[in-house]
Amino acid sequence: MKIRLTLLAALALALLLTLAACADREKVITIGAAVSETGRYAQEGTHTREGYQLWLDWVNDEAGGIDVDGVSHRVELIMYDDQSDPDTNAELVARLIDEDEVDFLLGPYSSTLTQSAIEVADPKGVIIVEGTGSSESLFEQGFQNLFAVLTPAGKYAESALNILAGQGAETVVVAYSDTLFPRSVADGVEKWAAQHGVKVLAIQPYPQDLSDVTGIVSNFKALNPDVFINAGYYNDALLFVRAAKALDFNPKATVMTVGPTDPRLIQEVGADADFLIGPTQWTPTMQYAGDRFGSAADYAQRFQRKFNATPTYQSASASAAALALQLAIEAADSTNPDEVRAALRNLKADTFYGPIEFDSTGKNAAKPMGAIQIQDGQALVVAPAPIAATQILYPTPPWQTR
């Protein structure tokens, strides 16, 4: 009898432990992301990963998890390296959904990889909230599960061209990497240039793996434009800055996506980065704030403490994407995809990253685009006027006198 009671007690204890473990699992929300750690997007992918990690630490360790109907749920984040490859990204997103059984997804870096991810996730009804895929084409295909917190790529050049036209710029040339995001930026340049009376002298696409841009720079130098715009990625910015100096290509203003907003560009090219203008989704000096993370400056201080670095807008965009998903889950009081999707469509939030309000296609319709200029080694906001920290420096002096 004693042996039987002991056995029953052991079985009861095992059952209680199993039930407790099940209860713990029910209090976990699993989120997945395939984000570049290697390959051509490794730099920007690292910034994106850091943004996700910062939010994860904050939501679990400080916020106590995500509140769902009065119950706190911890977040488990599963991230894989997509190697900056669309096919690998698609395979990993399928793995996250089918094998890891994630509840939701956060986006990869770049519009090209976001396209791969949503093509897998959308038919399966899995929501992706992202902060680095801004190509307009992503939101013209009828996807029901894609939500982006960032300003669309077509508006990237708006603030810069507006302020440069006001300074007297009359002509512009454009070189763009022939992928989704840069193509959208280039299309936007044509629109905003026409609106502000700036003549487009040339638009030159180039393959994404191009390693020598001297031919493009030589051709543009012969056109003598007031403004040069490069729509590309971090490595492209390095190539064009170095080639421009080597060939003495000196337009009155140079606008580059991604590069000027990354502090590492200044570390790599030093004073040659001065006067560069960069469209930016976010900087720590912008006057944005919300009840999570506090202000933009508060977020930057938190990031500095964790990573010993100044956050790029890619990091802030990633944290904001995760935060938007969190706010929608809490508003829905549910992890049911249909209810969270509806909450995302109705979301209106002021955050450290700026206002977030999704339109019917999943774009953030509330957030304006900014522009920075590197002046004496500092990236300072120069547009739009209400949030500008200083005046733009125009025209750029010749290389020989800098």
Does 128 have pLDDT greater than 90?
yes
pLDDT at 384: 83
- Section 149-166 average pLDDT: 94
Give me Rg for the CA atoms of the chain.
23
Name the band, by pLDDT with cuts 50, 70 and 90, for residue 2. very low
Answer yes or no: is pLDDT of 52 > 60. Answer: yes
For residue 385, name the pLDDT band (cuts at 50, 70, 90): confident
Encoded amino acid at 90, one letter: A
What order do you get walking across the sheet with 128-130 strand by strand?
A: 66-68, 71-80, 28-34, 104-106, 128-130, 146-148
Of the two residues 209 and 113, the one the predictor is more confident about is 113
Q: Is the dihedral of CA 390, 395, 397, 398 positive or negative?
A: positive
Q: Is the pLDDT reported for residue 9 higher than 80?
A: no
Token pair of 343 as six digits = 């909450």
| Contact in structure between 151 and 367 (CB atoms under 8 Å) | yes
**158-174 residue pLDDT tens:** 999 999 999 999 999 99
Q: What is the structure's pLDDT at 5?
A: 45
**Token code pair at residue 314:** 């890619």
Q: 145 falls in which pLDDT band (50, 70, 90)?
A: very high
Our CA angle for 173, 208, 37, nearest 5°, is 125
Which strand (E) or helix (H) includes residue 118? helix 111-121
Cβ–Cβ < 8 Å for 316, 294: no
| Reported confidence tier of residue 292, pLDDT bands at 50, 70, 90 | very high
pLDDT computed for residue 267 by the predictor:
94
Residue 183's pLDDT is what? 96
Whether residue 17 is predicted with pLDDT greater than 70 in this model: the reply is: no
Query: Would you state the pLDDT for residue 386?
Result: 78
Residue 15 pLDDT class (50, 70, 90 cuts): low
pLDDT at 46 over 90: yes
Query: Alpha-carbon torsion 148, 151, 152, 156, what sign?
Result: negative
Going by C-alpha positions, the residue among 175, 183, 256 that lies closest to residue 217 is 175
- Could you report the per-residue pLDDT of 317-342, keeping only the tens digit for each? 999 999 999 999 999 999 999 999 99
Q: How confident is the model at residue 3 (pLDDT cuts 50, 70, 90)?
A: very low
pLDDT at 368 over 90: no
Tell me the mean pLDDT in the region 264-288: 94
Give the rounded percent of residues in the chain with a pLDDT score beyond 70.
Answer: 94
